[in-house]
Structure 1
Amino acid sequence: MGCSWLLILGLIQIVAHSLEIQGSGEEPIPVIAHNVTGVLEEDVYLSCEYQGSAQINKAEWKRRISSSKFKRLAGFSNGELFSRGDFSKPDSPTNLTVRMKVSSVEAEGEYICEFQEEEENPFGSVFVTVIAKPDIRIEVNSETINDTHYQLVSCSAVGGRPIPQISWLVGGRPPSDFPFTVNESKTLHSNGTSTLISTLRFPTHLQDEESVICVVKHETLPNPKSTTANVETYGKLISAAFESL
């Protein structure tokens, strides 16, 4: 009986020692930000830090080019820190925090951070989403159809990504269906951005506000951006007609 208990105790010690060995060999997972948003033509930071205690022989940021090819971007190799293209050199072999210039929409995608130690190659990945801040422009034009004078106020959000939202305020309120009409047109550009144009049209004699406001909402704007356009009123139009006589 005593031998049985000793045998059981010995088995427990063997299992515990085995678990301890397995636990000590667990691969340290790098601390990494998994989702990052970068603004076109601005800088974004990619952070990745090794949490293990082993000696780091090599470390790098890379991006997959094909199923078997990767592009090396920045890291530590042959005892030196390195960087290429739009990347800065990392802080250290164990802290691969880098600054990346978002020079094109093609920068969007997955980036892999990998450390090479004696026994393991722990790695992590981050997906970078690229957005672009639109350039907002406003323009006022007019036309006369069947002796009726109309004004057309165009608000353009140029070079945005994703597509922004444009709305209008007349007298502090959204314009009613009559006498106002709103038309939108969208243009996609080869660099991955787009331009949205919203045109507010109304007959001058049915509108007595001296200005209208274009409101643009976009991910790059912390708050909606309002742009005011001065327009003619029916009274001003009549006065101008009399002055021309």
Structure 2
Amino acid sequence: MARRDARNWSSCTQKMIGLLCLIASILTQHGTSGQRVKVEPEVLSYPGQTVNLRCAFTDATGIQLTMVTWIYEPKDGERINIAVFHPNFDPNYPDSPVKGRVSFTPSPPNLASPSIQISGVRMTDEGKYICEYATYPSGNEQGITFLVMLAKPENSASIVTVVAGSKPAVVARCESLNGRPVAQISWVTTANGNATTVSKPGADNTVTVTSEYRMVPTATDNGKDISCLVAHRTQVKAESFLMKLAVQYAPQVSIVGYDNNWYVGRPNVMLTCQANANPVPTSVAWKTMSGEMPDTVQIKGNELKVLKVDETVNTTFVCEVSNRIGTTRDQVTVMVRGTRLPEKGPTTGTIIGAIIGVILLLAIVGTAIAMYRKHKNNKLNGDGPPKYKPPPPKKITSNANRQVNSDHTPVAETRPLQNQYYSTQSAEPVTDLDAYHEDDVDDDGGADERAHYYSAAPSGWDDPGNNEVPPPYMRTDSDPQDYHPGLNVNRGESFVSSAMFV
């Protein structure tokens, strides 16, 4: 049983391998045949020229070439044999649209390279041309060439004059006549519209393309640029046609010149009637609402001049402008004043602005100069932060017994003098508030001995001790000298000795 299964499996495997080999052989032959007939994929030609359609069998090893047939297949039609060659017979050219204009080249032909040429080609000759070999044993093999006929079109563009309105209208037209292949038309403009393009058959199998630009025309569209671009295979670049829209409209009228300052006696004032229209205005007429034109008024075209303002020009002036499209009017009411209005000089604002600018500039310059001088004075006076760090303050106290004797007056009592010496440097100066809050009250909250005031007095001055002696900065009636007040500072924190009086 196992042996039978093994034999069946081996037989199936052999059959599958054979089938795969057959499929591969067919695919290989088909791919090879598609590459062995060498032709040009596309050939371009203009009407009246002679075109060469080349064909060759690249590798005939192991293959017998029997016959060659050229077949023409138009775009809309059936296949037609146009040239046949067999090595045992002369070339044959069956009835076809190209009979009499087609021939093998070289002549006589050979199967390895049976090219043909068509003279005096026409636009109707465009289509598919097939070079087909009859071979043994592989059968028929072929190559296809597309003949593309070119016809340079005649391009043109034009503007269509329209009247402004509310409905879409054709404002420009672009046309490409008798081209092959079909031309491409596009538009470039700032006007708000859209294009419609139509193609139709032309002469001798050519195509005519017409494009129209449509929009709702307005007065503001008049004179806008619009360009038509025609692109075709026979042109190196697109052909451009630059045009300007032509929209006709009734006049747009406005009266200028009235400044609301027409006062009695003012001479030579003027009104101008300005009009914008297409086509140009044909007439301009001045009127008044009262029906009568003042005697001091002179009219010349679109200008109305008042020689001297009086009460008669206190009216409404009307200007009417007409063209082929219609008539439009504008009006202005004049109010004659008894006195003249004050007029502002045209340069008042400029002068005020210039004065303000000069003042600001001077202020900036003065501030800069002041800051510079202050900085320079600070440098000269040595102001500014110290360049070194001062040492901490030190207090030195020493007691010495001195006995002050007078050469002329005997000393009744000898008392020790308490001299205190202080460092000349301190963290910071203090005010005389320290003397009132620190020296007058003892630890028990009672009165303590009053602080002794010292001054740099000459030798011979006694320490007042506890006697009620006023401090040096107070003046007494018995002293005729002017005392200059000294600083009342705490002796323990002062870095400057008391004032010395001589």
Using the size of structure 1 for normalisation, the TM-score is 0.58
Q: Which residue of 1 aligns with 2:38?
A: 31
The 3-state SS of whatever aligns with 1:41 is: coil
Equivalent in the alignment of 1:61 = 70
Mapped to 2, the partners of 1:152 and 1:145 lie a distance apart of: 11
Q: Among residues 148, 161, 175, which one is paired with 1:142 in the alignment? A: 161
| In 1: Cα distance, 2:91 partner to 2:197 partner | 54
- In 2, Cα distance between the equivalents of 1:64 and 1:206? 55
1:241 partner SS: coil
The equivalent of 1:19 in structure 2 is none
Which ranges in structure 1 are unaligned for 5 or more consecutive residues? 1-25
Counterpart-to-counterpart distance in 2, 1:64 and 1:167:
33
Question: Helix, strand or coil for the counterpart of 1:206?
Answer: helix
For 2:82, which of 66, 72, 78 is the aligned residue? 72
Among residues 113, 122, 125, which one is paired with 1:103 in the alignment? 122
CA contact (8 A) 2:127 2:146 kept: yes
Name the amino acid aligned to 1:200: Y
Say what the alpha-carbon RMSD is for the aligned residues: 4.8
Task: Give the C-alpha shift of residue 106 in structure 1.
Answer: 5.4
Deviation (angstroms), 1:46: 1.5
State how 1:160-199 maps to structure 2 within 5 Å.
160-170=179-189, 175-176=190-191, 178=192, 180-188=193-201, 193-199=206-212
TM-score norm. by structure 2 comes to 0.32
Q: Which has the higher contact order (CA 8 A, sep 6+)?
A: 1
Does residue 128 (structure 1) correspond to residue 167 (structure 2)? The answer is: no
Equivalent position of 1:206 in the other structure: 220
* CA distance 1:142–1:240, shift in 2 (3 Å): closer
Corresponding residue SS for 2:122: coil
Q: Which runs of 4 or more aligned residues in structure 1 lie more than 4 Å from their structure 2 counterparts after TM superposition?
A: 52-60, 64-67, 74-83, 116-123, 145-148, 188-193, 208-211, 230-234, 237-240, 242-245
155-164 or 56-65, which moves further after superposition? Answer: 56-65
Partner of 1:49: 56
Q: Give structure 2 stretches of 5+ with no counterpart.
A: 1-31, 249-275, 284-322, 324-502
1:143-198 per-position Cα deviation (integer Å, ceiling 9, x unaligned): 325599x772211123345543211123xxxx45x2x3323333345965433211
**Is the counterpart of residue 225 in structure 1 residue 239 in structure 2?**
yes
Equivalent in 172, 190, 196 of residue 153 of structure 1:
172
SS in 2 for 1:187: strand
Aligned-partner Cα distance in 1 for 2:177–2:126: 20
Alignment coverage as a number of residue pairs: 210
Q: Matched residues in 2 for 1:229 and 1:87: separation?
A: 48
Larger relative strand fraction: 1
Partners of 2:125 and 2:149 within 8 A in 1: no
Cα contact 2:37–2:55 (8 A) shared by 1: yes
Alpha-carbon distance in structure 2 between the residues aligned to 1:89 and 1:227: 46
Partner Cα separation in structure 2 for residue 87 and residue 210 of structure 1? 55
Deviation at 1:241, TM superposition (A): 1.7
The answer on whether the counterparts of 2:47 and 2:149 sit within 8 Å (CA) in structure 1 is no
Distance, in Å, in 2 between the alignment partners of 1:243 and 1:87 is 69
TM-aligned CA deviation for residue 58 of structure 1: 6.0
